[in-house]
Structure 1
Amino acid sequence: MATPVLAQSLRLPPGACVPSCPEKAHLTQMSTGADMDLAALVTPTSTDDFLSEVWGRRTAVFPGPSDRFTELLDWTKLSSLLSEHRHAHPRFRLSREGNIIPRESYMRQAGLPDTAEVPEPAELYRQLRDGAMLVLDSVDDMVPGIRELATALESAFRERVIINAYAGWSEIEGFDLHWDDHDVIVLQVYGQKAWNFYGSTRDWPMRKDVEANTEPPSGPKDTLLINAGDVLYVPRGEWHRVHATKTPSLHLTIGVTRRTGYDFLSWLAEDLISSAVLRQDIPRHADAQERGRYFAQLRHEVVTRLTEESLERFLYVSDATAASRAQVDLDAVRPDPQNIGDESLLEWLAPRAVPRTAEGRTTLGALGRVWTFADPASVVLRALMSQRKLTFARLCSDLSAQVDKELIRAFVLELQGSGLLSVRTSSP
């Protein structure tokens, strides 16, 4: 993955001084502008304590009121998702006791030219009554409230977040004893589930690994009952088995795949292609002395590049090239300043964007590009990134002492046209 290059320049005319703002302020103190974020999920534990004492280290439960997740997804919303969308396998699937149920047993052709499949209600109900678990992946792409939660968590973790839904109507297990290659945060929406934990058998296991991690410990070491409204955190590699104790049960699973040293070195290997030594053919038919010289040059190139600075650049590039969740704003085809009124709702679309300010300029790495902005843009950018969703009137009010309203409007138009900002004509 190459370092992003300057894609285009968006500038505001000089008009106000930009207050100093620490580089990492938006990472640690960001207000989501949504109803739910990491702080809300792990309360009363602070986010700092969660990240330093729990994250990647141990399982933990964070209790809450039984109805706190019903606004995200309830039975009616889930029914609508299955009725109104076409889900290719395996995004929508049924599982029972660790086995995927054949799709043809509960799906039928919709009769459309694209041969799309839709659920056969009677057969779907029969499978669910018989103990099947319903799985719907990536509901964060379909439900606005869940998308906002995923965006808030992606901003907090600086990693890709995917949220899946699991529903069951019996105590039969949907999956066998297993471990996940990513960190998991579970939001129990309805019902109760018993989670049996067995510990880990390999440090930091990966799906793509040199040793198989297929032998679980002999027996469970702990059992936790997770009730509606509770949050459960499970670190990568922890063997577990789950079954419902009160049915029906519905929960959301938040998967967070973190980058590893392997990812860093894979990126570094691609970055090293800029070196002629790395592009050179290995002199396999030369004598030992010549191969020794080649190896010394190769080692020098790798060691020279293997620095803390290159690690920081890898993290920067990973964030700057992270894709945003698809959200089409057709007003951005021909942005019109008259479409931006006081009640227009602005939504920042790049949760892992990286701003840097130096010498009166702000650069922003996002969506695979690097933008350069003049001074006044910095304060507007940080306001948008810190709140992520607010009305145009609120933005202008917050910045009235620093940036002129018409400059803000012009800048909002440019951000909209670049895909960094969505503008709705009125707030919902």
Structure 2
Amino acid sequence: MNYEDALSLFEAMTAPVESDLFMGEIVGKRPVAVLGSDDDAQAMRFGLIGDDPKATILDAYRRHATELTCHIAEPKVPPPEPRAVAGPEEFQALVKEYHAAEYTVRIPQASQLSPQLARFIRALEYLFSGMADTVVFWSGQGAEAPVHDDEYDVIAIQLLGKKKWYVSREEASLRNPWRIGTPVPEIGRKSEIDVEPGDMLYLPRGTVHTVSTPSEESIHLSIAFNPVTVRDAMQAALDYLSDEERFLRENASGRGDAVARGGAMAPLEDRVREGLDRLVEAAKSDDFIRTAMRYRQSRLIGDMPKLDKGKPVMVDPDTIVRHSPTAVAALLVNGEHVDFAQPGEHILVNAAVEQSLRFIADHAQFRVGDIPGPVDDQVRVALVQRLIASGFLVPDA
């Protein structure tokens, strides 16, 4: 998956909102609702985990039954406990126990419910340069969520039944994810939004909202992600500078326990200020900042879950190969080596094949013999076989 592939998938999923509008005027700025459209995007969203979302979820009982959480606006009784179940029927019975007590079932880490969903999640991760995840919310009739805001941006896609969202019209706080113990926010002025299967909402992080279920039952996906913030970019610049300057890797104070000890922490205060001065000086260079962001992207991709390993296959110059559905890559040239970062792995290759690797990363499908660069067919075949083995490439059917 390259940038164009990821953007095309994103725009297909969020249509009729154009990607330039979404990226430039909506993300991090305001909520948006995409409702009641009978186009291909509506069908695409509705079928994101298959034509029968309930069956898809219940068939994944082994992975999810023991991981259930829940929420409710005003609890009357303690919730059931998640537990292992023997099959889809027992999983549904467990869900009904939650619903009987008026709890909404929350199923975390659900991005692997379908290949289509996994691919969309990977597109979000690539476009927004950050990890993304999916939570399933399965509510019974009359269920109500507490008023809250989230520490991540949310794309909510309705799959079954109806929900009514109450979304604050106040500016989103864009709150930090590490803020703990903050008071329950006031929703204030709000919009009421009725959603049906295939409808989509986007909420910037820190948007106060609540949800109720008027239908017999309701299922929606909540896809969480965070765009790169100014803080993230500054952190990337600091990380890159610390690779270059030993000073930033040294002990911050004369004592290892200075922070725990409290009080004056000299020379920590002075060294922090010197470190900031060095960062400001380095950041005067646009190239320094751009390089720092490339290093950040490489680490992000390398930290993703590994791709499924490929089986050995015969490859020749006429073989057609393509990216596996959730493959993305970032390339960094480090002296005599190219760091080819793919999900869960950094592959170091001689810098002589940089042009060849960039072609492979940028082209979602290609003929092995068409790989450019100062290499022969033997090297082309070896590169492709290595990337098939790692799961990045698959032979085209």
Q: Which interval holds the TM-score relative to the shorter structure? A: 0.7 to 0.9
SS of equivalent residue, structure 1 residue 237: coil
SS of equivalent residue, structure 2 residue 214: strand
Measured after TM superposition, the shift of residue 170 of structure 1 is: 0.8
Match for residue 209 of structure 2 among 226, 234, 240: 240
Measured after TM superposition, the shift of residue 345 of structure 1 is: 5.7
The residue number in structure 1 matching 2:150 is 180
The residue number in structure 2 matching 1:8 is none
Q: TM-score, normalised by structure 1?
A: 0.70
Taking the TM superposition and a 5 Å limit, the aligned residue runs for 1:178-327 are: 178-200=148-170, 203-209=173-179, 213-217=182-186, 219-263=188-232, 268=238, 272=242, 274-275=246-247, 278-279=250-251, 281-282=253-254, 298-306=272-280, 307-308=282-283, 311-322=289-300, 323-327=303-307
Q: Is the contact made by 1:360 and 1:374 (CA closer than 8 Å) also made in structure 2?
A: yes
Q: Is the contact made by 2:165 and 2:209 (CA closer than 8 Å) also made in structure 1?
A: yes
Measured after TM superposition, the shift of residue 238 of structure 1 is: 0.6
User: Between Structure 1 and Structure 2, which shows a larger proportion of helix residues?
Assistant: 2
Q: Is the contact made by 2:384 and 2:393 (CA closer than 8 Å) also made in structure 1?
A: no
Q: TM-score, normalised by structure 2?
A: 0.75
Q: Is the contact made by 1:348 and 1:420 (CA closer than 8 Å) also made in structure 2?
A: no
The residue number in structure 1 matching 2:262 is none
Measured after TM superposition, the shift of residue 349 of structure 1 is: 4.8
The residue number in structure 2 matching 1:347 is 324
Match for residue 110 of structure 2 among 139, 147, 151: 139
CA distance in 1, matches of 2:205, 2:388: 38
The residue number in structure 2 matching 1:369 is 346
Q: Is the contact made by 1:325 and 1:349 (CA closer than 8 Å) also made in structure 2?
A: no
The residue number in structure 1 matching 2:308 is 328
Q: Is the contact made by 2:332 and 2:339 (CA closer than 8 Å) also made in structure 1?
A: yes
SS of equivalent residue, structure 2 residue 367: helix
CA distance in 2, matches of 1:266, 1:130: 45
Taking the TM superposition and a 5 Å limit, the aligned residue runs for 1:374-385 are: 378-379=355-356, 381-385=358-362
Q: What residue identity is the alignment partner of 2:348? A: W
SS of equivalent residue, structure 2 residue 46: coil
Structure 1 position 93 matched with structure 2 position 69: yes
CA distance in 1, matches of 2:131, 2:178: 18
Measured after TM superposition, the shift of residue 413 of structure 1 is: 0.8
- Worse overlay, 377-386 or 237-246: 377-386
CA distance in 2, matches of 1:408, 1:348: 22
SS of equivalent residue, structure 1 residue 246: coil
The residue number in structure 2 matching 1:72 is 48
Measured after TM superposition, the shift of residue 316 of structure 1 is: 2.5
Q: Is the contact made by 2:153 and 2:203 (CA closer than 8 Å) also made in structure 1?
A: yes
CA distance in 1, matches of 2:146, 2:387: 47
- Seq. identity, %: 16
Q: What residue identity is the alignment partner of 1:327? A: L
Q: Is the contact made by 1:197 and 1:223 (CA closer than 8 Å) also made in structure 2?
A: yes
Q: Is the contact made by 2:159 and 2:198 (CA closer than 8 Å) also made in structure 1?
A: yes
Structure 1 position 102 matched with structure 2 position 79: yes
Change (3 A) 1:120 1:72: closer
CA distance in 1, matches of 2:47, 2:392: 25
Segments of 5+ residues of structure 2 without an aligned counterpart are 259-265
Alignment deviations for residues 16-50 of structure 1 (CA, whole Å, 9 cap, x no partner): xxxxxxxxxx54xx1249xx721113323321221
- Worse overlay, 319-328 or 78-87: 78-87
Superposition CA RMSD, Å? 4.3
Change (3 A) 1:340 1:399: closer
- Worse overlay, 341-350 or 296-305: 341-350
Q: Is the contact made by 1:159 and 1:257 (CA closer than 8 Å) also made in structure 2?
A: yes
Measured after TM superposition, the shift of residue 348 of structure 1 is: 6.3
Change (3 A) 1:202 1:245: closer
The residue number in structure 2 matching 1:20 is none
The residue number in structure 1 matching 2:263 is none
Change (3 A) 1:48 1:124: closer
Change (3 A) 1:422 1:370: closer
User: Between Structure 1 and Structure 2, which shows a larger proportion of strand residues?
Assistant: 1
CA distance in 1, matches of 2:391, 2:310: 13
Change (3 A) 1:85 1:121: closer
